[in-house]
Structure 1
Amino acid sequence: MFEFLLCSLLTIFPDYLFRRYVQGKRIGREITLYSVWFELRWGITACIILTVSLITLIFYFHPSTKSVTSVFRTVAVLPETGGRVAEIYVKLNDKVAAGQPLFRLDNTEEEAAAELARRQIAEVDAEMTVARTELIAADGAIVQAEAAVKQAQDEYDTQVELNRLNPNVVARREIERRQVALEGRKGGLTAVLSNKQTLETKIASLLPSQKASAEAALQQADANLAKTTVRAGVSGTLSQFALRVGEVVNPMLRPAGVLVPEEAGRTALVAGFGQIEAQVMKVGMIAEATCIGKPFTIIPMVVTQVQDVIAGGQLRASDQLIDVAQLAKPGTLTVFLEPLYPGLLDGIPPGSSCIANAYTNSHDELSSPDISTGRWLYLHVVDAVGLVHAMILRMQALMLPVQTLVLGGH
């Protein structure tokens, strides 16, 4: 209607003035309700053609859509492991901070595992102390064995020397016995040296490895124990939280509630424009929006991202063939709009429905020195008619509460 009134000022109205003041025809006589088409046929025809052209020009180069929403995603409150609720720290609709405890599962088994790991660490430490004591005892045993070897060696050497000076003084059997005793002493020395080496290896490698394993088991037990306390992943509002002590929760089937992040839906709007606008929508375009959650307000925005695929055509593999006719419904071009200035989306409830306009800007092309006169005039017309769409959006912002509260029957 607004476009028709505008076009009539350039077509029907001048035609009427010509008929009235140049041809001398008057309303109610030559120009009547029955003869208005014949008298003003040129102006009416031109007005209809100009109106259709203007509407096409406006809606193509300055697209509009009512499929705009401040989309947000919630965070499910889920434990990392299943269990029975033992303690609850918050209530429904509480404001929680990131990392704040929400509830705790029964952790008897996890605490027992952690205590067992601590006892194993203490046991390894005690074995380390005993091994060090045994190492000192081994040093003493080595000294004793070395002394015994030295004594046996001296006795053997003495018997050999006496036998060399006088073979009749020492019996051959006695020398053999001394030799056997010497070899036995050397074997005992080797045994205590090996025992010392074993203790050193145990202190240097085995016990530290056992302690590291026990410490790793303690860390795992502490991690499992920490999982029994469910914390808020982000700051936000706790919704649909009707948990009770004794209830069983499961990370796959039974979430405890929903957490709505503080910044949810307050950073951008997601709009669905017609597919015909795919060649017009560009990143950086200026846009405007008005939302039901914040009436009488025009929010200046900018296009920050244009999705290069149409969601309506997506195909998911399954055990059934997909008929293309099932995908015949045309989808929309998903566009992300962000406010030009911080805080402009404050006060708009996440999930609000909005209306948005995007405006084509030909400033760079108009500034080119190589542009032709016809192209220059055409681009000026395209940029100028964006004002009409901006006026329409403001009229919609004024009528939106009336349509919702009065005409909508709410």
Structure 2
Amino acid sequence: MAHGQTAPGIVSGRLSSDEIAQNFSDLHPAYEPHEAAVAADRCYFCYDAPCQVACPTDIDIPMFIRQIQAGNPEGAAQTILNQNILGGMCARVCPTETLCEEACVRETAEGKPVEIGRLQRYATDTVMAAGIHPFERAAPTGKSVAVVGAGPAGLACAHRLAMLGHDVVIHEARGKSGGLNEFGIAAYKTTDNFAEAEVDWLLKIGGITIETGSALGQGITLDGLRESHDAVFLSIGLTGVNALRAAGEDKAGVRDAVEFIAELRQAGDLSALPVGRNVVVIGGGMTAVDAAVQSKLLGAENVTIAYRRDRDAMGASRFEQDLATSKGVKIMFNVQPVAVHGNGAAAEIELEYTSGSGGDLTGTGETVRLPADQVFKAIGQTLEGAPEGLALDGRKIAVTGPGRTSVAGIWAGGDCAAGGDDLTVTAVAEGRDAAMDIHASLSA
């Protein structure tokens, strides 16, 4: 059964189109101009700016907020986009509550930070809505760079290189650009096809060609790219899926959460998307929360996130956890899957309670069964198809400095590269910094 969608209990049409539209409306509605002005007035414009220190892309946050306060959102956008060309998406999906906003002095003093993420969105949305691309391409250098993967790292790298005058060809395995921004983030965080619109806007810099349906091992090779280009940047992401290592995980109704989210993001009619009545998501990161919340929004009656460690170890932020519970999702801690039961298709999942001490996780032998006609695996992804000849650090591509791999002329960044957090904003920073290093190398 494809994806378990024909399994009993997994059906479409649990909610009407109107209910679906309401459920998947914008999580953080955009500011009106007067709202942005009021929010900007709360900023203390700190000299040492702990918010900026906490930003992986080092955006001058006090500066752009002051520009909004002064009625200059276009200038604010320039300040943001200088550091983070995908500032519009990051404003929507970045875990600001654990980065810049957590460091905000207002948060420390009052428990209510300046809403930096929404202010950033206000500024970047303003320039995009006006069709403004505030960057000009430098004179052509005659150099060309191949970028493999059109996700956040690849796009950020390509834009910076193009802006510096290099020609860039992006090879993207899927039929559409954007990477996780397009395929891997909850639909209620990025409404109105924003990811696609942002890519179209980014390409206005010129000098970037995207070839979709093009992947390493499928028409192109790393050696071939090295021969035909002056440098190569790898941002191939993580496409492998960890196994549950639980009996019955091959039953219909058990599938990868990332695959489910991608299908949901590309669906033309969400009311036609099948979802179970009783859904259990295994994992504790953002993907687990996105899969669980969206299952609930599609009409699943009972949705549970089952995480093997305690709350403090959970990868998803407390904000994301609270968001899930506010939508009716139950979160179980210290449980791990033992078996999926059912006659051909999932009907129940058996979970074992765990005990963690000194970092070690052990099963207690005590188990509980939950009804589950749909089980999503959100337990992390692995690197598949790493080019031969590149040194690895653990299970990712080893890099030094701004993305240099063990092979001269090849850089890497984003989720496929070792180090850093698997966040859109981190990927953007890595792509941008690798581009600057590539530029320096090509200009030497």
TM over 0.5: no
Structure of higher RCO (CA pairs closer than 8 Å, 6+ residues apart) = 1
In terms of fraction of residues, the more helix-rich structure is 1
Q: Which has the larger Rg?
A: 1
TM-score normalized by the length of structure 2: 0.19
